[in-house]
Amino acid sequence: MAKLSIKSKLLVMLLGVSLGSIALVATLNYIESYKTVQTSVFAQLTSLRASRADAIEQYVETITSELEVLADSPNMGIMLSELSAAFQALAGTELEPEALSELETFYDDQFLPGLDAMVEGTPEFLSVFPESDAARYLQYHYLARNPYPRDKRIQVDDPGDGSDYSRLHDQWHPVLRRIVNGFGYYDLFLIDIVSGTIVYSTAKEVDFGTNLIAGPHSQSNLGRLFRTVQRNPNRGAARIIDFEHYRPSIGAPAMFIAAPVFARGRPVGIVAAQESTAALDRVVTGNRQWERDGLGKTGETVLIGPDYLLRSASRFLIEDPEAYAADQRAIRTPEATIQRIVQLGSPILEQEVRTVAAEQALRGQTATGVIVDYRGREILGSWAPLRLRDLDWAIVGKIDLDEAYAPIHRLARNTLVQTLVILVVITVLVMVLANSFVRPVNDLISRVRRFGAGDNSVEFDDDSSDEIGDLAKSFRELAESARKQTGMIEEVSRENERLLANMLPQRYAQNLPHGSEEARETIPEVSVIFAELRGLVEITRSQSADVCVSILTEFLAAADRAARRHDAERVKTMGDTYLAAVGLSSPLLDHIPRAAAFARELRDTVATIAQSHEVKLDLIVGISAGPVITNLSHDRELMFQIWGEAVIEADFARDEAELGQIVVTGTVREALADRYRFERMAGEKVVGLWILADGE
């Protein structure tokens, strides 16, 4: 201090007093704000958690009450008795060897491969194949010979086998189907209370016709629930059993509700409903409107079962599966579990949540606190037990600590900025007169900093004739040189962008400068158009190369113009072949009609070109629709590709087309059936291909 000037000492003292005062006030304010924000977040989480708990309780009560009413309806006893009798009448009805072989093939080709991919171990054929002749008979007619895919088997009323069972099924199935659709069940079962046989199933999965006492699915949660109700068939009292992996539904998590059905005062059967995870997930997640519900970017509510496994979806798996998987690897979750969760798209019955919140809530404690969640992240949480009919769950509302305390962090930053501003003001007031002679230097420094930060509008005045004026003049010359170089760089950049726009689809051209050396993604709904110009080779033999190049150039230019009119995007050209796609850069609901209109215009354009040049020229086109995979790489050279089943199908359709034909796949034909006429292509190789006929 002794060597400092008076001006410097005064500056140090004023700055010290000011900084100390500001620091004390800011610290006290920060502590109080911290407590306020934490209390507010806990209150919000607790309120939301309680609201979700009420909604879940209401949901469970609603579905059980609905089933109780359904079980107690007069027609249910009649329906169950008649179907049970018709089922028993099929006892001893053996399938013909060919039919039995077809049923076995159904299990080998359709059911077991899907189940093998979803469960641990390898399921054995005999462990799931129906044990009785009646079950095999019904599964043959309602499953193996069902013309609809697995999720549409409910559409069949009468398989046409002429049995009494099918006659009753045709009578009652439409009624039960409306009930299933109206209540939102996944499946509805009618079970004989004495034999334990599932005599009716709406969804027609492989549990249809099997026995829940000694059959292949007797140890499932449905089998255990049946035996519980069978032992105590109390009228009007539905029972519920927790989610488990249910093999007949390809291992998907399933929860069941069951109630006894009475006829003439005695129990004749049990009606059971299968609940999927989707309905409960909508309740727990608030229909996935987390931000609308005040949970920000990282908040969620989750359900946890007594086995410490999730009973609801994870927001983080839904929004970013890769980040979710990375978090799980960081906390050493087994890789097989991670892959299964990502493959299923759901952590239910897979993700273990053995946290402080889960342990306390399952022990019946309600609390809030700062803990580590199932992703290994610090969170603010509010948890409580959830006591429901026959279910013992816990519910946790939580939000990441970083997001919850974001207001505090902003307050700290703002306080720091305000402190710096105050210090600057004090410093200026003390030094304003003493430093008047250095103002030109400070002004020059300020201009240099602004220019360095990218403000090209800065001017350097050299009015002064002293050394400062010379320095300003040097900076001005340097700035002018920098502006010229910047302008040249910007012009080159604009030219590169124009080149990219001509080489790539719009979105990929825009994202290329900001992406990595390779980018790959799957686009679920795209129409792919393969067009090939026929006749150009023959023209090359009879006319000059200039004429051929002119025709090809005219064709490509016309194709590009037509593509722009129909929102199609050129992917690549290979000689006389033109590959385009609709819906690549942005999703389009009408991508298939656009693709068809583009192909028709392209065909008309080729006809016009052929007529104007007086040459024989035709076009063949193949159109398919579905998911594609795009890959953009630019390590050493720029390459954009698409591939996938839709690309292969469009290429195949083009190969099978004859001159002037537009050949489409079945998917395209179904989407355009009400707009165009189609002719089926004949031949074993072209099953599923259609020719788009002229006219509409």
Instruction: Please state, rounded to an integer, the average pLDDT across all residues of the chain.
Output: 85
- Residue at 63 is within a domain: no
Domain count, the chain: 3
Q: Taking 60 as the threshold, does the pLDDT of residue 5 lie above it?
A: no
- Contact status, residue 134 vs residue 93, Cβ threshold 8 Å: yes
pLDDT for residue 465 is more than 90? no
Asked whether residue 141 is domain-assigned, the answer is yes
Band of the pLDDT at 494, cuts 50, 70, 90? Answer: low
Average pLDDT on 461-485 reads: 65
Residues 495 and 526 in one domain: no
Q: Which pLDDT belongs to residue 408?
A: 76
431 or 4, higher pLDDT:
431
Regarding whether 608 and 463 lie in a shared domain, the answer is no
Q: Report helix, strand or coil for 673.
A: coil
Lowest-confidence range among 74-88, 126-140, 317-331, 445-459? 445-459
pLDDT at 16: 72
The reported pLDDT for the residue numbered 468 is: 64
Q: What is the distance between the alpha carbons of residues 622 and 578, in angstroms, rounded to a whole number?
A: 11
Cα-trace Rg, the chain: 36
Which CATH number is 553's domain given?
3.30.70.1230
Residue 208 shares a structural domain with residue 88: yes
Q: Which of 12-16, 139-143, 377-381, 467-471 has the highest mean pLDDT?
A: 139-143
Does the structure show a pLDDT above 80 at 572?
A: yes
Least confident piece of the model among 27-31, 322-326, 571-575, 591-595: 27-31
Beta-bridge partners for 248 = none
Is residue 410 domain-resident? no
Residues 6+ apart with CB under 8 A from 318: 288
Across the range 244-254, mean pLDDT stands at 91
Which stretch of 167-171, 486-490, 573-577, 602-606 has the lowest confidence by average pLDDT? 486-490
pLDDT band at 202 (very low <50, low <70, confident <90, very high): very high
| Residue at 218 is within a domain | yes
Long-range contacts of 184-188, Cβ-Cβ distance < 8 Å, separation of 24 or more: 184/279, 185/273, 185/274, 185/275, 186/249, 186/254, 186/273, 186/274, 186/275, 186/276, 187/249, 187/273, 187/274, 188/271, 188/272, 188/273, 188/274
Q: Are residues 115 and 152 in the same domain?
A: yes
State percent of the chain over pLDDT 90. 50
* Residue 320 is assigned to a structural domain of this protein: no
The answer to whether 146 touches 102, Cβ cutoff 8 Å, is: no
Beta bridge partners of 398: 300, 381
User: If pLDDT is split at 50, 70 and 90, which confidence band does 10 have?
Assistant: low
Distances (CA, A) of 15 to 55, 435, 651: 58, 17, 76
Is position 209 within any domain?
A: yes
Q: Are residues 483 and 521 in the same domain?
A: no
pLDDT for 464 beyond 70:
no
Task: Determine the number of helices (DSSP H) and then strands (DSSP E) in the chain.
Answer: 22, 17
Please indicate, yes or no, whether residues 516 and 662 belong to a single structural domain of this protein: yes
Tokens of 151: 């999720």
Residue 6 domain-assigned (yes or no): no
Taking CA atoms, 490 is separated from 457, 485, 486, in Å, by 16, 9, 6
- The number of beta carbons lying within 10 Å of the beta carbon of residue 14 is 15
Per-residue pLDDT, averaged over 75-81, amounts to: 92
Torsion region of 397: left, alpha or beta (phi above 0 gives left; psi -120 to 50 gives alpha): beta
Amino acid at position 229, single letter: V
Residue 317 CA, distance from chain mean position = 9
> How many residues would you count in the chain?
696
Q: Which residue among 186, 207, 234 closes a domain?
A: 234
For tokens 């992703």, what's the residue?
375
317, pLDDT greater than 60:
yes
Q: What's the whole-number mean pLDDT along residues 605-613?
A: 91
Give tens-digit pLDDT for 90-139: 998 999 999 999 999 999 999 989 888 777 778 888 889 998 999 999 99
Average pLDDT over residues 289-306: 89
Three-class DSSP category at 510? helix
Residue 175 lies in domain: 73-234
Q: Looking at 180-265, which runs of residues are DSSP E strands?
A: 187-192, 198-201, 239-246, 252-263
CA distance 671 to 678: 12
pLDDT at residue 1 is higher than 90: no
More confident residue, 123 or 243: 243
pLDDT tier for residue 160 given thresholds of 50, 70 and 90: very high
Q: Using the 3D structure, point to which of 503, 537, 552 is the last residue of a domain.
A: 503
Give the β-pairing of 187-192 and 266-275: antiparallel
Inter-CA distances, 606 with 555, 579, 602, 658, Å: 7, 16, 6, 15
Are residues 446 and 525 located together in one domain of the fold? no
pTM, two decimals, is 0.58
User: Of 188, 212, 234, which one is at a domain's C-terminal end?
Assistant: 234
HSE-CB for 282 with a 13 A CA cutoff: 6
Answer yes or no: do 484 and 538 share one domain: no
610/498 same-domain check: no
Q: What pLDDT does residue 130 have? A: 93
Amino acid residing at 626: G
Shared-domain flag, residues 459 and 516? no
On whether the CB atoms of residues 530 and 654 are closer than 8 A, the answer is yes
Mean pLDDT of 563-588: 91
What average pLDDT does the segment 358-377 reach? 91
The CATH number for 487's domain is: 1.10.8
Cα first-last separation, the chain: 95
Within 10 A of 442 (CB to CB), how many other CB atoms are there?
10
Among candidates 557, 551, 530, which has minimal Cα distance to 625? Answer: 530
pLDDT in tens, 634-674: 666 677 889 899 999 999 999 999 998 999 999 999 999 99
- Verify that 498 and 553 share a domain, yes or no: no
Q: What is the mean pLDDT of residues 565-573?
A: 91
Q: Do residues 139 and 202 both lie within one domain?
A: yes
CA distance 37 to 414: 16
pLDDT given for residue 268 in this prediction: 93
pLDDT at 251 over 90: no
Average the pLDDT over each of 65-69, 400-404, 664-668, 683-687 and give the range with the smallest value: 683-687
* 487 within some domain: yes
For 492, the token pair is 């080159």
